Amino acid sequence: MKRRELAHKMFPDISDTLSDLEQTYPKRYLERGAYVTRFAPSPTGFLHTGSLFTALISKSVAMRKNGVFFVRLEDTDTKREVEGAADSLLSDLALFGLNPDEGFLGTEEKGLYGPYRQSDRAAIYRTVIKQMIVDNKAYPCFCSNSDLDNLRKRQEKEKVVPGYYGRYAKCSTLTVDQALKKVNAGEDYVVRFRSKGNHQNKIVVSDLLRGDIEIAENDHHIVILKGDGLPTYHFAHLCDDHFMRTTLVTRGEEWLSSLPLHVELFKSMNFDLPKYAHLPLINKLDDGKKRKLSKRYDEEAAVSYFINLGYPLEAILTYLMSIANYNFEDWWRVNKRTDILKFPFQFENMSLDGALFDVEKLNFFAREFIAVLTAEEVLERLRDFSEAQNDEKLTKLITDNEAYFIKILNIERGGLKPRKDFTYFADIYEQIKFFFDEEYYPLFDNVGINLFNPKFSKELIINLLTSLKTNLVYRRGNEVWFDSLKKVASAFNFALTGREYRANPALYLGMTGDVAEMLRIAIVSSKQSPNMYEVLTILGKKRVNERIDYAIEKLSK
RNA sequence: GGCCCGUUGGAGAAGUGGUUUAACUCACCAGCCUUUCACGCUGGCAUACAUGGGUUCGAAUCCCGUACGGGUCGCCA
């Protein structure tokens, strides 16, 4: 048989058969209703927010019924491969706790269905293709790039669908002898799938999210093996998801249009078609228009953007899940500290149109998340963050002042109404740095000194601060302390309450709040701060007085 | 352009023919609380069912057309 000769000539190294592969990669034993899903990134850059979304859902679905979630590295595009991308993809995935049950893990592989890196699977692809050549389901194509360019131009002129199909599929009509001759002559070739489809026919394909979709049959003779000997995505999908026994393919909506092709591929090989869930894309609003998040233009497209700002990773997942399932937020409200993978994600509860990425909502979840951590947990994470960012100054500061940090982070933390003022970890030190003298003094020089209300004379402020220094009562609680402040204010003819002041502004210089503000500026160099009594207690009377003295000194100039 | 998917207030989104004068969450605004901020509470904003036909006693919900948005048409994935 001539075709066998051709196949052997093209793939002399292959002696295995399809049934060998079937035996090597047997069907998996699974619980009823369990899914085998996968995360299949190509190492062309950092983890994309959309990929994380897909991975989260794949993992959730697999976990539900003791299925399998595995990672396969799709590294067949050698031109676009980025050094180190595979490792960072994997480490980011691990950071998010989306640990695979099996697959490509960087330095090693786990599982019986490997190799899990496509560049290591050449023998498998070649075995399948060899059989396809024998069965006349595929053929070598000798068209050059310029041949294809010309074809496209011609088709554009003729106003027909561009592509290699039907009467345009020149090499599909080559006889086996002709092909053999070219191969023997050492001509370059790719391998194409011989489609039997008819574009006029409609087929029904099924998607877990969208239901049945009526769509034209594929009739394109797509490339399945590239000139470099590596498979294209479509063909790798066929071989890998069959022999890795994937039962549910979760991928972005952009793949929906190639589904007819994939259906034909599986059918032609008599492989069971996996189920598909084409997930909505995450978009962003750009100049009033909605568009897919783009790696190149949108900083929030790369998960690393949020990692570098120190967003709690749980919050990112929480946000993504809130996009994924409408009933998630209800669950979350009572499970704020529960592993998100415990949430029963369901495809039925997913909306079909791509959501706009909303940083504000992410910030909300992030604040909520940090607010329910203990001070120890916050510090632990702050330390991890500063180490990850190579912030030696902050790292050392934390190491040298652990107990102090804990006190600071404990202000108004805990209880039913915790303070919610940290959104991400890069934010924290900025907000609490006034607690450190080396930060406070320059801060007061640059900022604080200018914050005093011009309504009051410097002399008055100095006198008030001086009085506060000696008359404030610490150690007996917030109430007593604030009473002592009121007493000072009152002695200087400030109204006790805003209401009294507003009723008779002519009678007073100001109100207690004004005095509190002066003190606050002198102590924290800002008009805002957490509860002042707590701040003062943490700083200690000695340092408070030093700061007041400093403010007085500066005001006197 | 062909094909496919989608379309409920600024964002996410509930709703599957009558309980809808359309939930809920974020954002925003106001008031309360309050020594500031944050929290919390109360209220509000937002002319929200793309549009035109049809089916029906009745449509956000079913059908058809149109518009708009997105995706895809590679030896990229």
Residue nearest to nucleotide B72 (CA to C1'): A257
For residue A123, is pLDDT > 90? yes
For residue A191, is pLDDT > 90? yes
Residue nearest to nucleotide B4 (CA to C1'): A257
Let me know: does A317 contact A343? Beta carbons within 8 Å. no
CA of A270 to C1' of B53 (A): 46
Q: Read off φ and ψ for residue A33, nearest 5 degrees.
A: 85, 0
**8-state DSSP, A369:** H
DSSP A468-505: HHHH---SSHHHHHHHHHHHHHHHTTEESSHHHHHH-G
Q: Would you place residue A2 in the very low, low, confident or very high pLDDT band (cuts 50, 70, 90)?
A: confident
For residue A51, is pLDDT > 80? yes
Model confidence over A348-406: pLDDT tens digits? 999 888 888 999 999 999 999 999 999 999 999 999 999 999 999 999 999 999 999 99
Let me know: does A506 contact A493? Beta carbons within 8 Å. no
Q: Indicate the SS3 state at residue A290.
A: strand
Strand B positions within 7 A of protein Cβ atoms? 1-8, 10-16, 23-27, 35-40, 69-77
For residue A289, is pLDDT > 70? no
- Residues constituting chain A: 557
Show Cβ contacts of residue A540 under 8 Å, excluding neighbours closer than 6 positions.
Answer: none
What residue has token string 């034209």?
A216
For residue A298, is pLDDT > 80? no
For residue A293, is pLDDT > 80? no
Model confidence over A55-112: pLDDT tens digits? 999 999 999 889 999 999 999 999 999 999 999 999 999 999 999 999 999 888 999 9
Q: Would you place residue A531 in the very low, low, confident or very high pLDDT band (cuts 50, 70, 90)?
A: very high
CA of A430 to C1' of B76 (A): 43
Which pLDDT does position A492 carry in this prediction?
92
For residue A113, is pLDDT > 80? yes
Nucleotide nearest A292, CA–C1', reads B70
Q: Distance (Å, rounded) from C-alpha A266 to C-alpha A133?
A: 16
Of the two residues A441 and A288, the one the predictor is more confident about is A441
CA of A349 to C1' of B21 (A): 28
Nucleotide nearest A350, CA–C1', reads B13
Q: Indicate the SS3 state at residue A553.
A: helix
Nucleotide nearest A202, CA–C1', reads B3
Helix axes A2-10, A122-134, angle to 10 degrees: 160
CA of A364 to C1' of B45 (A): 20
> What is the b/e burial string over A529-544, where b = at least 16 CB atoms within 10 angstroms of the residue's CB?
bbebbbbbbbbeeeeb
Q: Read off φ and ψ for residue A48, nearest 5 degrees.
A: -90, 145
Q: In a 10 Å sphere around its CB, with 0-12 CB exposed, 13-18 middle and 19+ buried, how is residue A141 labelled?
A: buried
CA of A286 to C1' of B53 (A): 34
CA of A395 to C1' of B30 (A): 43
Alpha carbons within 13 angstroms on the beta-carbon side of residue A433 total: 15
Of the two residues A233 and A510, the one the predictor is more confident about is A233
Q: Would you place residue A288 in the very low, low, confident or very high pLDDT band (cuts 50, 70, 90)?
A: low
Let me know: does A148 contact A162? Beta carbons within 8 Å. no
Q: Distance (Å, rounded) from C-alpha A190 to C-alpha A174?
A: 14
For residue A238, is pLDDT > 90? yes
Show Cβ contacts of residue A469 under 8 Å, excluding neighbours closer than 6 positions.
Answer: A545, A548, A549
Return the closest-CA partner of residue A324 out of A302, A295, A353, A304.
Answer: A353
Which pLDDT does position A481 carry in this prediction?
92
Residue nearest to nucleotide B25 (CA to C1'): A329
Which pLDDT does position A287 carry in this prediction?
62
Mean pLDDT, residues A256-280 taken together: 95
Strands (E), A289-369: 289-292
For residue A244, is pLDDT > 70? yes
Give the C-alpha distances (Å, rounded to integers) separating A228 from A14, A190, A235, A529.
Answer: 17, 8, 14, 63
Model confidence over A425-448: pLDDT tens digits? 999 999 999 999 999 999 999 988
Which pLDDT does position A286 carry in this prediction?
66
Show Cβ contacts of residue A207 under 8 Å, excluding neighbours closer than 6 positions.
Answer: A213, A256, A259, A276, A277, A278
Q: Distance (Å, rounded) from C-alpha A39 to C-alpha A69?
A: 7
Nucleotide nearest A481, CA–C1', reads B35
ipTM of this predicted structure: 0.94
CA of A363 to C1' of B21 (A): 35
Residue nearest to nucleotide B1 (CA to C1'): A159
CA of A150 to C1' of B2 (A): 20
Strands (E), A127-186: 138-141
CA of A295 to C1' of B69 (A): 21
Q: How remote is the C-alpha of A18 from its chain's centroid?
A: 38
Which pLDDT does position A214 carry in this prediction?
86
